[in-house]
Amino acid sequence: MTDGKFPKARHLLGLMGFLGFANVYAMRVNLSVAIVAMVNHTAIPEQNTTNLDDVCPAPGNDTDNGPVLNGEFAWDESTQGIVLGAFFYGYVLTQIPGGRLAETVGGKMIYGIGVLITAIFTFLTPIAAYWSLPALVIVRVIEGMGEGVTFPAMHAMLAKWIPPLERSKFAAVVYAGANFGTIISLPLSGWLCSLDFLDGWPLAFYLFGALGVVWFIFWMYLVYNSPSQHPRISPQEKHYIQRSLQRLDDELLDTTGDNSIPWRSILTCLPMWAILVTQCGQAWAFYTLLTELPTYMDNILHFGINANAVLSSLQYLTAWIFGIGSSIVADWILAKGWLSQKNSYKLWNSVASIVPSIGLLKFPHCKNKNYKKKNLLKGERGSFGHTQ
């Protein structure tokens, strides 16, 4: 099937895609931790959390928590919500156009430029924050627009590069970069925020922004839109990929008789709408935790910046492990013929929806039980990995 040469061209694509997603998610979530150090909580009269019934007792002089920081920005919770949410206003705008551009122009350039734009404006985030609140919001919106094209562009790349029988495991590994980046970014950002150098928190943006630019240089050299355009791919690997994809195309043509996009059928397809609703529900929980959990750990559970960042990252470690592990199990079950591909998708999507929902429902009933909350945070998020 393929020659023994390693690494193969598609493996380099997978590695660079993994690192790309790790970087964009690191750039996405670093603000969630940094904002804890950026905000001057004592300058906000309304934020006297000691009078709230739902606030846990402060942990006292627990040095393991790390320092409790007070920054220079007097942003109330509403303003913090605007800052944290600004990214997603841009993110939602470019996903569909990004996918279509990747199909027509090529996924390499769209994915690469998306990461580069996110990196440049991540680097500019501290400058914008010191300048003005509107400038910061605009920068975050542009970051979101850059990152919004990455997933659809990678979908287009995998469709041209990965044989059908390898796609479940391959896609799981590539998209697991998102969880890996979050795992690395949260505790590292927390540590950087605790430093005195350059006020600490800007370092989280400078570091990951610079890494994104370096990644872009390697991406442009190592990756190509398709096997036919790659100058260094072996003839054996090229033939194997093209033969596998041609067989899939022939099967689709035999089934549909047409290779055009059936927009009307898509928009009137009830299963498509069911998937859309399911993904909206999962995304609601996913991004609520992604953006708000460090603030919750700070304001309600009173963890210092280091412990806050580490605990917030643990759930993404379980998601990373479950995501890769479940894809291997799913492929094994399919190979055994125990489940059809459709029922396999239904099974793992159901697990990914139900288990995290149960965990989230427990949150309001864990009041004043810090260790119970920490254990819940470790396990609740893991099942989201089945969807990625």
Per-residue pLDDT tens over the stretch 317-328: 777 777 777 777
Contact status, residue 291 vs residue 32, Cβ threshold 8 Å: yes
**Residue 148 · residue 114 · CB < 8 Å:** yes
DSSP string, 296-326: HHHHTS---HHHHHHHHHHHHHHHHHHHHHH
296, part of any domain: no
Question: Is the pLDDT reported for residue 253 higher than 50?
Answer: no
For 64-88, the pLDDT digits (tens) are 455 555 568 888 888 888 998 899 9
Is 32 part of a structural domain of the chain? Answer: yes
Say how many domains are in the chain. Answer: 1
Domain assignment present for residue 370? The answer is no
The domain in which residue 148 lies consists of 9-43+69-252
Percent of the chain whose predicted confidence (pLDDT) is above 90: 28
* Residue 231 to residue 36: CA distance in whole angstroms: 48
Answer yes or no: is 61 within a domain. no
In angstroms, the CA 339 to CA 324 distance is 19
CATH code for position 202: 1.20.1250.20
pLDDT value at residue 122: 95
Report helix, strand or coil for 140: helix
Distance, CA of 310 to CA of 88 (rounded, Å): 24
Q: Specify the 3-state DSSP secondary structure of 192.
A: helix
pLDDT in tens, 115-171: 999 999 999 999 999 999 999 999 999 999 999 999 999 999 998 888 887 877 788
Residue 212 lies in a domain: yes
* CA–CA gap between residue 345 and residue 167 (Å, rounded): 14
pLDDT at 249: 55
Which two tokens mark 197? 């150098």
Does some domain include residue 326?
A: no
Q: Could you read off the pLDDT of 112-130 as tens digits, one per residue?
A: 999 999 999 999 999 999 9
Q: Do the domain assignments include residue 87?
A: yes
Which alpha helices (DSSP H) does 167-228 contain, by range?
167-193, 202-222
Q: Cα Rg for the chain, rounded, in angstroms?
A: 22
Give a yes or no: residue 30 inside a domain: yes
Q: How far apart are CA 354 and CA 112, in angstroms?
A: 35
Burial annotation 336-365 (CB, 10 A radius, 16+ → b, else e): eeeeeeeebeeebbebbbebbeebbeeeee
